[in-house]
Amino acid sequence: MATVAFRYGMGACLALIGLLSVILNCILFFTCVKRKRLRKPPQFFLISLAVVDILAVLGWLSLTVVSLFNDGWILPSWVCKAQEYFMSFWLFLNTHSFVLLAFDRCLLFVRPSKHSEIFIDTVVFIMILALWFFDGLLSAFPYFGWGTVSYFSNQFQCAMNHEKNIRETNFVTAMCFGIPITLCMGMYLFIFIMIRKIKKQEDDNGALIVERNRNAIGDSYSQRLRNLQYKFQNAGTRAIKPNIGKKFTYTEDGYIHDDSSDDENTNDVQKGIEKQKVQQKKVYHMAKNDTLLTKTYVIMTFSTFFLWLPYVVVTYIFLKDRFANISDELVFVVIFLCHCTTLIKPVVYVTYNSHFRKHVVKLFRRKRNKQIDSNASNSQTDGQGYDNVAMQQ
């Protein structure tokens, strides 16, 4: 059994981590909501992660703190199952959100035109709702009879009894670690290969080109209709046979153009088509903030996986040998690292991403300026009221 000093010390540290996690996740949430430039569809995933971190602190971490200070479980049994549910739900939602964040970055660097079509407000909102529903259903499997929840004195928390649920343990390991880690590593590796390739492509101003697209988002509806007209205007016509001895060239569409022709109208139409095609070409450049955000996602994702790795290792050690020589203090240190993951994401995002820090500073500066303006207006109103009273007297 753990000593009293160890329990109280770890309980105080865990309570401090929970408090900092709630504060930083609230800052992350309100900054993404209040700042217009951050209120974009891909940022909705960060808002979702901030909300689930706060829920995890309230329904998972705080109950472990209570167990530490009371040296055991003193709450009803349904609260024990609720703690395991919040723990599983947090794990499922975070790992699956990391996969979607990696897919968002991958599509942005490979096909930014498609990224603009897919990652819009409605689609991202539906993705998040579907993710919450799916992961919430997976976390509720013990309530449907697949899995047993027990209180572990060496962990000071309620968790899945892995010795009685080996199949579900393997399923959770594959769904939360095996598949997500493989997908994230593959997509981020592909992204960095693409970035090295993009750095070799520059325009006249030195900006890095990601994609050149002729039919991109931003063209008007009438413009797209003209594009279809240009595409099918020569469909079904026969190619012009060249006269021997005359110079001829091939058009872009594969038809033969006779240079000796005197049909000026045809040439004017062709020039108009070529001019139109040049106008509708879209060039996407690689932004510095996108690269910085990708690196932030990489650090945030693999830091979370790294902190959960000891828990997975210890779990399978006990599955192989239930009497393994691992002290209770070491087991709880592993659990302590898992609880730290509720804090690691906002810490990485705030400290590493300088672009986000600027928005945090602007948000608090704006609130301070509003407060100063409101105090000044109240003082002016009070002064005017005092003058009116003096005049009446």
Q: How far is CA 86 from CA 170, 316, 339, 389, in A?
A: 19, 22, 12, 61
Percent of the chain with pLDDT over 70: 70
Looking at per-residue pLDDT, the higher value among 242 and 321 belongs to: 321
> Is the CB of residue 89 less than 8 Å from the CB of residue 60?
no
Mean pLDDT of 201-227: 59
Give residue 391's pLDDT band: very low, low, confident or very high (50, 70, 90): very low
Strand, helix or coil for residue 204: coil
Which CATH code of 3.40.50.150, 3.10.450.50, 3.30.530.20, 1.20.1070.10 fits the domain covering 4-201+284-370? 1.20.1070.10
User: What kind and span of H or E run contains 250?
Assistant: strand 248-250
82-96, 193-207, 231-245, 364-378 — which one is most confidently predicted on average?
82-96
Instruction: Give the pLDDT score at 71.
Output: 81
Digit-coded pLDDT (tens) for 17-70: 999 999 999 988 888 888 877 777 878 898 999 999 999 999 999 999 999 998
Q: Is the pLDDT assigned to residue 261 strictly greater than 80?
A: no
Residue 352, phi then psi, degrees to nearest 5: -90, -35
- The string of pLDDT tens digits covering residues 290-339 is 788 888 899 999 999 999 999 999 999 988 888 788 888 899 999 999 99
- The residue with greater pLDDT, 387 or 10, is 10
DSSP line for 309-361: HHHHHHHHHHHH-TT----HHHHHHHHHHHHHHHHHHHHHHHHH-HHHHHHHH
Q: What is the mean pLDDT of residues 103-128?
A: 86
Q: What is the pLDDT of residue 280?
A: 45
Query: How far is the C-alpha of 194 from the C-alpha of 187, rounded, in Å?
Result: 10
The pLDDT value given to residue 112: 79
> Contact at 8 Å (CB) between 248 and 319?
no
State the pLDDT at residue 175: 93
Contact between residue 210 and residue 200 where contact means Cβ atoms under 8 Å apart: no
**Domains of the chain: which residue ranges?**
4-201+284-370, 220-279
pLDDT value at residue 262: 43
Top pLDDT among 258 and 42 is at: 42
- pLDDT for position 284: 64
Q: Specify the pLDDT at position 380.
A: 52
Q: Is the pLDDT confidence value at 386 over 50?
A: no
Mean pLDDT, range 382-391, rounded to an integer? 45
Q: Tell me, what's the pLDDT at 277?
A: 44
Lowest mean pLDDT among 221-230, 299-308, 377-386: 377-386
Q: Is 73 left (phi over 0), alpha (psi -120 to 50) or beta?
A: beta
Give pLDDT, residue 26. Answer: 92
Average pLDDT score, the chain: 78
More confident residue, 93 or 269: 93
What's the average model confidence in pLDDT over 279-296?
70
- Please report the pLDDT score of residue 197 as a whole number: 78
* pTM summary value: 0.74
State the pLDDT at residue 203: 61
